[in-house]
Amino acid sequence: MSLVYDGPLRKAAQLKLTLPLDLQHKLLHVYIGFIAADRSQQSDSQYLGSVNTFTG
């Protein structure tokens, strides 16, 4: 499992990840959640769907 705890601020509207080798060429299920900048609050996570990382 791969987690990102220090991602960009929400206003950046994007996050780019480089997948570790053990997560490449697999079907991944993606969830998202938000944490306040001061870490005082957090959202519930939401399932975004699956991503196919298989290549050719």
User: Which pLDDT belongs to residue 1?
Assistant: 61
- For the chain, 56 residues long, give each residue's pLDDT as a single digit of tens: 666 667 787 788 888 878 888 888 899 998 888 888 888 998 999 999 999 988 65
In Å, what is the CA distance from 50 to each residue of 13, 25, 31? 20, 13, 9
User: Which pLDDT belongs to residue 50?
Assistant: 95
User: Which pLDDT belongs to residue 36?
Assistant: 86
User: Which pLDDT belongs to residue 2?
Assistant: 61
Distance CA 4, CA 2 (A): 7
Q: Which amino acid is at 26?
A: K
The pTM (predicted TM-score) of the whole model is: 0.67
